[in-house]
Chain A
């Protein structure tokens, strides 16, 4: 059974860089069937796609965040990471990592439990 687990600081200062890691177990992040995604949800609001990375290393970003986002993958250690620069209070959200699977029509079939990141001084 595939499992994903987010980790990282729960509090980030304004203008700093938010960094999170998602550790994947029970499967390989090198799988050609999978993209590895970051999705966020501000408190009381809906889901927002941040971006995803394919096994080839190619990453795709939400255009509204692309100037501040970097997603990378470490296949040898089965994790992938998110960096979001120049954060503001608007970046306060629960951040989820998820698998986007080609075999289920690009749906997000496995999710981490989510981690709340607050941006505050």
Chain B
């Protein structure tokens, strides 16, 4: 297995909610509640915005929320803002290994 699968792009109008999916397998997302999400603006390092599926680090907007069902994790941005336009990556613990998602470009219309 290589990367976790994400949609290449997701778009939404200002103020709408959008959801990004991240599909893995029973060997990673399906077994462990250790999914994290990262936001990356162009030319910048990734910033971690969700850990352990649903937990938000201090300072991260509560517009970001995470969930999981079976082998698929999801990131929801509620009331999307212009500054949320970025690339988003999921990541899952898998024992001694780590898998990143393929990445999703979020466009705010």
- When distances are taken between beta carbons in the complex, the residues of chain A under 8 Å from B96 are 60
Q: A47 with B51: in contact, given A105-B34, A107-B91 (CB under 8 Å)? A: no
- When distances are taken between beta carbons in the complex, the residues of chain A under 8 Å from B2 are 64
Binds A, one of B10-18, B19-27, B69-77, B98-106: B98-106
Q: Is the interface of B mostly helix, strand, loop or mixed?
A: strand
- When distances are taken between beta carbons in the complex, the residues of chain B under 8 Å from A111 are 45-48
- Taken residue by residue from 27 to 48, chain B's Cβ proximity to chain A (1 for < 8 Å, 0 otherwise) reads as 0000001101010000001111
- When distances are taken between beta carbons in the complex, the residues of chain A under 8 Å from B93 are 105-106
- When distances are taken between beta carbons in the complex, the residues of chain B under 8 Å from A48 are 100
Q: How many A-B residue pairs have CB under 8 A?
A: 65
Q: Is there an interface contact between A47 and B34, defined as CB atoms closer than 8 Å?
A: no
Q: Is there an interface contact between B97 and A62, defined as CB atoms closer than 8 Å?
A: yes
CB of B57 within 8 A of chain A? yes
How far apart are B102's CB and chain A's nearest CB, in angstroms? 5
Query: Contact residue range for chain B?
Result: 20 to 34
CB of B3 within 8 A of chain A? yes
Q: A107 with B48: in contact, given A46-B3, A46-B89, A47-B89 (CB under 8 Å)? A: yes
CB of A96 within 8 A of chain B? yes
How far apart are A27's CB and chain B's nearest CB, in angstroms? 16
- When distances are taken between beta carbons in the complex, the residues of chain A under 8 Å from B91 are 47, 107-108
Q: Is there an interface contact between B52 and A105, defined as CB atoms closer than 8 Å?
A: yes
- When distances are taken between beta carbons in the complex, the residues of chain B under 8 Å from A113 are 45
Q: Is there an interface contact between B46 and A47, defined as CB atoms closer than 8 Å?
A: yes
Q: Is there an interface contact between B103 and A47, defined as CB atoms closer than 8 Å?
A: yes
- When distances are taken between beta carbons in the complex, the residues of chain B under 8 Å from A96 are 45-46
